[in-house]
Amino acid sequence: MATANRSKMKRRFRQWRFPALFISSLLLSAWLLLSNVDELKNRTQILQQTVKVIANQAELREVLSLSLSQNQVNLDRINHLHLDNQRYLSEIQANLPSNPQLAKRFTALTQSFEEQFHLVNAFKSSNAVFQNSALYFPTLIQDCSNKNSSPEVSDIIKQVYILGINNITQPSSLNQLKFQQAMDKLAKSTDQCNDLFKHGKILNEYLLKRHYQYQSILNAPIKGKLLEFYDGYEHYSQQNVQQSQEFNYLLLAINLLFMIYILWVLNQLSKQNHQLILASQELEKQRNLYHGLSEANQAIAKLNNAQEIFQAIVDIIHERVKVPSCMISQPSENGMIKALAVSGVGKDLLKHLPISVDANHPAGQGSISLAYRTQQPIIIHDYLNSKQAQYWMAQAKAFNLQSVASLPLFEQGKIYGIMTLYSDQNNAFTEEVLEVISTFSNDLSLAIERLSLAQRQKNQEADLAVSAIAFESQENIIITDAQGIILKANQSFYDTTGYTPEEVIGLTPRIVKSGLEAPQTYQDIWQSLLSTGHWHGEIRNRKKDGTIYPVYQQINAVYDKHHRVSNYISHAQDLTKQKQDAAKISFLQNHDELTGLANHPLLIERITQQLEQTSSYYNFLSLINLKRFKSINESLGHEAGDQLLIQVGRRLTLLSLEHVVEKTFARISSDEFAILCLTETQTHEALQTVSNQIIYEIEEAFKTPFQVGNNSLNVEMAIGATVFSAGQKEQPIDIYQQALTALHRAKLNPTSHIQFFAEEMQSIAQEEFALEAALRNAFNNKEFVMYYQPQVDTQTGAYLGSEALIRWLTPNNELIPPYKFIPLLERTRLIIKVGYWLLEEVLKQTQQLPDFANQTYTVSVNLSGVQFGDKKLVQTIKEILLSTQFPAQRLMLEVTESSLMADMQSGLAILHELKRLGCKIAIDDFGTGYSSFAYLKNMPVDELKIDKFFIDDIHNAKDSAIIQTIIALASALNISSIAEGVEDSSQLISLQTMDCNKIQGYYFSKPLPFEHLADFITHNTSTS
């Protein structure tokens, strides 16, 4: 029994002797290590405090240095640094080991600090005395100056003050010397400044004393004492560390022996544990495989969309089979593989990886291609070293592909696609794994069969629905199932969008979603379909190439016999061309065809918009006339004239126009342009500056000659400008007329080619008031006289009538042309009285012409737009005809397009009433305004008058085409045509060729007074 116990004890001893020795050694090492750690901790703390003391010393020197340079001592900071040093020294003393040498050096260090402290206190006291004297110095200077009124003494005092301030602010030996010399000089000059002498001496004395104290502080041996203490402590610490290291080396050797033994034991345990882990991993892998297979079957049974099933399968394989990547793909029509679903790393790469099923293609040698061609699974265990990886080697290395498995998928016995798994491990696809993924592929093939059958049934239903509509129409038609999946689309849809059936069938209409409509729009569409089964409206779609196109779309729900939605049918009409045509028409209606700038109607519209705004900013309108443009046209040709106009328009649009928020550039007649600016100014002063700047920019733009062909043209201009703001009572045409009036002044002014129209300009206002009064007197005094411009037959030159034109003959026999007073007559509405007088006078005079009763010629009288606003217009004309007994059929009343367009309905009614009186109606300046054919067909018009604007450029192809169009239009409507402003024979010949009926202009006769008209008639009346 005793022997058995001893044996048992021996076994236990052998079993535990090595661990016991190892633990003992570890404990001893730990004790030594902790001792060293404490020593190192104390050493670190002492060294840290020493470094802090050194840093404080450097900062103290800096503070004292600044005190000297700025004459202001930072007492708080000096005291704070001293207290910090005391605290750091106390902490060093607390951690200092028991060593006589270290204690001696520490004592010497503390004594040095005490000496420095006393020196610093002395420096602060000296500085305080110096500062007090410096502060009192200006007062003493003033006191001394008050006591001495002598100029010489005052100059010395000023010199003492300046040198004293320099000595205080910039202390130096030279400044001290200069100051003392000045003080001595003052002492010799006066005995009234004893206090100043005393404080000046104190200043110099304590300035010097403060400097010496600062040098003493700097020379204090503290830094040396700190370094002696630091070196002594460092030497002591190194001795202790060396002793500990020697003993630690011995223990380390013992511990290494025990460590080797323990590592051997752990290695044996690791091998056993590895076997257990491998077994556990294999069990987990099998469990994941079969769980994945179960999840895949559930997804196949639950989902009815092929894309969703494919994505669910690859996600399950990626997660459960633990492969980095998985893809299901299918060959496209061009023989290249397209990805249907991808999961795992490198998704974007796999989606766009070039893979071909063609054996002769470089990208047709991989596992997917082989699986497709052989219709057998292809397994590659060492992918990077296989010939199948050569084409994609860079991508394979980037993703560390080691193994690949590709399995074919079938539909009704024909290959449908390929399922491919990628692994980053060699020989990853064992027999067990292949057995499970083969099950995946078989189940997936069955799902494809099921979905194919369901799709064929849906297509049959769609075909039946399509048979009820004109499917192959010009509209884009698509049919979806109840879930919005596209079943079929017509050829028009494919032609419009650029997609193919393979790219569309099975997807939703989101494929053409533009992304420009608000999400609420699509919510409203579905809400309408769900509640009413119908929606229609305009929406924007996107083509395959990214092009956005507008459509008018109608969507209708189709219901089965149980009144459940079975399909949706969408009809979409492409509105691209209609919108483009509308935009083009709108542009042509509102822009000048030659320059692309806004035209006159658009300019008036923009003025209207600015008047209707609520902004308080000023608007600036300028009209620009090109001087001698007609001469350029005649000498260089109309093509050169067109080029000049284009260049002028381009230069105007390039103006920077600072302080302008909005701007409109327009061409308003053959040689006139306009600029409308909304400025950033709200005051008259700022407006004047901005207006001048705009005019300056316009002038600068015209300084550079225009290069037209081989000619360099310097073009002069006249500028008329006006300003207005939102809310003014004037009509847009009034604003325009203001600028036009200013332009007329600019044309006539020989000294200034720039004229402003501004109500606040008193001189202009007085001139207009005087002119208005003169006009009233002229009417009362019968100063208005009639001139007549003959109208002749284009072919024969026979007299056919004349246009009555009013002139103003002043008492000084000055004949004033109508453009100077007609606008004012219209603004003051005097035109109504003058107009009726003019009509009556013309009718009376015309009847006095030779053989009037036996002739058929007519007389034309202009009606102003203001007269159209007179409710008594028709009745008054009727009364004048009756009183004068003038034949109404020989009276031609000329009206402008713009006067009619102000109120078209009312204007048409007035024209019809005048026509019923027997009068003839002519549209004056036809083609320069709205020229609305829709209204023209409803007007009782007898004559269209072609404006001089077109006649001036009759040799220009575009103007010629317009003139021919107007003449042809008049002929088609059985209306006479007359051209005004004919000034040379070439214009006459062109109009004769175009079959214009009548002409008038300076080529035949300028406007004639009544007494000369009879002679003209006699010589030009047809004898036939």
Residue 307 sits in a domain whose CATH number is 3.30.450.40
Q: Look at residues 207, 213, 61 and name the one whose alpha carbon lies nearest to residue 123.
A: 213
Q: What is the mean pLDDT of residues 732-754?
A: 84
Q: Is residue 781 part of a domain?
A: no
CA dist 534 and 714 (Å) reads: 67
Tokens at 477, concatenated = 């038609």
Tokens at 189, concatenated = 């000059």
Q: Is residue 115 part of a domain?
A: yes
Name the band, by pLDDT with cuts 50, 70 and 90, for residue 761.
very low
Same domain, 168 and 101: yes
Q: Read off the pLDDT of residues 364-385 as tens digits, 9 standing for 90 and up.
A: 888 898 999 998 999 998 888 8
CB neighbour burial string for 366-376, b if at least 16 within 10 angstroms, e if fewer: bbbbbbbeeee
Higher per-residue confidence, 423 vs 186: 423
What's 336's DSSP letter? Answer: B
CA dist 790 and 1004 (Å) reads: 8
Same domain, 441 and 520: no
Q: Read off the pLDDT of residues 944-953 as tens digits, 9 standing for 90 and up.
A: 999 888 899 9
CA dist 355 to 145, 349, 351, 423, 1012, Å? 105, 12, 10, 19, 98
Across 377-471, where does the E strand assignment appear?
A: 378-380, 403-411, 414-423
Q: Is residue 878 part of a domain?
A: yes
CATH of the domain at 883: 3.20.20.450
Q: Is residue 1007 part of a domain?
A: yes
Query: Residue 463: what pLDDT?
Result: 55
Name the band, by pLDDT with cuts 50, 70 and 90, for residue 35.
low
Side chain identity at residue 754, one-letter code: I
Q: Assess contact for 378 and 371: CB atoms under 8 A.
A: yes
- Would you list the DSSP string of 465-483? HHTTS-TTSSSEEEEEETT
Q: What is the mean pLDDT of residues 609-623?
A: 89
Angle, in degrees to the nearest 10, between helices 2-70 and 194-218: 150
Query: Residue 135: what pLDDT?
Result: 76
| Model pTM score | 0.34
Give the range of the structural domain holding residue 993, as residue numbers without chain letter. 791-805+829-1021
CATH of the domain at 676: 3.30.70.270
> Is the confidence at residue 246, as pLDDT, over 70?
no
CA dist 632 to 193, 642, 671, 749, 949, Å? 93, 10, 11, 22, 15
Same domain, 603 and 654: yes
> Is the confidence at residue 818, as pLDDT, over 90?
no
How do beta strands 891-896 and 920-926 pair? parallel
Tokens at 620, concatenated = 């600036």
Q: Is residue 390 part of a domain?
A: yes
Same domain, 730 and 800: no
Q: What is the mean pLDDT of residues 867-876?
A: 90
CA dist 27 and 39 (Å) reads: 18
Last residue within a domain, chosen from 191, 224, 257: 224
Query: Residue 675: what pLDDT?
Result: 96
Same domain, 129 and 51: yes
* 486-489: strand order across its sheet: 486-489, 476-481, 565-574, 548-559, 534-542
Mean predicted lDDT score pLDDT of the chain? 82
Q: Read off the pLDDT of residues 708-730 as tens digits, 9 standing for 90 and up.
A: 988 889 888 999 999 998 888 88
Q: Read off the pLDDT of residues 168-224 as tens digits, 9 standing for 90 and up.
A: 777 777 877 887 888 888 888 888 788 787 878 787 777 777 777 777 777 777 767
CA dist 723 and 675 (Å) reads: 12
Q: Assess contact for 977 and 943: CB atoms under 8 A.
A: yes
Q: Assess contact for 574 and 493: CB atoms under 8 A.
A: no
Find the helix or strand (DSSP H, E) in which 511 lies. Answer: none
Name the band, by pLDDT with cuts 50, 70 and 90, for residue 1021.
low
Q: Is residue 101 part of a domain?
A: yes
- Would you give the end-to-end CA distance of the chain in angstroms? 172
Same domain, 576 and 610: no
Q: Assess contact for 711 and 640: CB atoms under 8 A.
A: yes
Find the helix or strand (DSSP H, E) in which 538 lies. Answer: strand 534-542
State the greatest distance between any 2 C-alpha atoms of the chain, in Å, as a whole number: 176
Query: Residue 284: what pLDDT?
Result: 65
Contacts of 192 (CB under 8 A, 6+ apart): 144, 147, 148
Contacts of 533 (CB under 8 A, 6+ apart): 556, 557, 559, 565
Same domain, 604 and 572: no
Q: What is the mean pLDDT of residues 795-813?
A: 91
Q: Read off the pLDDT of residues 631-687 as tens digits, 9 standing for 90 and up.
A: 888 888 889 999 999 999 999 999 988 888 899 999 998 899 999 999 988 887 778
Q: Is residue 997 part of a domain?
A: yes
Query: Residue 36: what pLDDT?
Result: 58
Q: What is the mean pLDDT of residues 912-919?
A: 94
Tell the burial category of 53 from Cβ atoms under 10 Å away from its Cβ (0-12, 13-18, 19+): buried
Q: What is the mean pLDDT of residues 393-413?
A: 86
Count other Cβ atoms within 10 Å, centred on residue 942. 19
Give the count of domains, the chain.
5
Query: Residue 499: what pLDDT?
Result: 93
Query: Residue 918: what pLDDT?
Result: 94
CA dist 257 and 264 (Å) reads: 11
CA dist 662 and 371 (Å) reads: 68
Q: What is the mean pLDDT of residues 472-500?
A: 87
> Is the confidence at residue 20, as pLDDT, over 70?
no
Q: Assess contact for 478 and 510: CB atoms under 8 A.
A: no
> Is the confidence at residue 767, as pLDDT, over 70?
no
Same domain, 202 and 57: yes
Share of residues in the chain with pLDDT > 70 (%): 86
Same domain, 188 and 207: yes
Same domain, 609 and 557: no
Q: What is the mean pLDDT of residues 626-633?
A: 86
CATH of the domain at 484: 3.30.450.20
Name the band, by pLDDT with cuts 50, 70 and 90, for residue 803.
very high
Name the band, by pLDDT with cuts 50, 70 and 90, for residue 1023.
very low
> Is the confidence at residue 12, as pLDDT, over 70?
no
Least confident of 73-87, 145-159, 321-335, 588-602: 73-87
Last residue within a domain, chosen from 205, 224, 243: 224
Same domain, 568 and 682: no
Higher per-residue confidence, 960 vs 256: 960
Q: Look at residues 589, 612, 862 and name the one whose alpha carbon lies nearest to residue 731.
A: 612
User: In 71-99, where does DSSP find H-type helix?
Assistant: 75-95
Same domain, 552 and 615: no
Q: Is residue 173 part of a domain?
A: yes
Query: Residue 279: what pLDDT?
Result: 58
Higher per-residue confidence, 22 vs 131: 131
Q: Which residues are registered as beta bridge partners of 558?
A: 567
> Is the confidence at residue 460, as pLDDT, over 60?
no
Across 799-890, where does the E strand assignment appear?
A: 799-809, 815-816, 858-862
CA dist 897 and 364 (Å) reads: 76
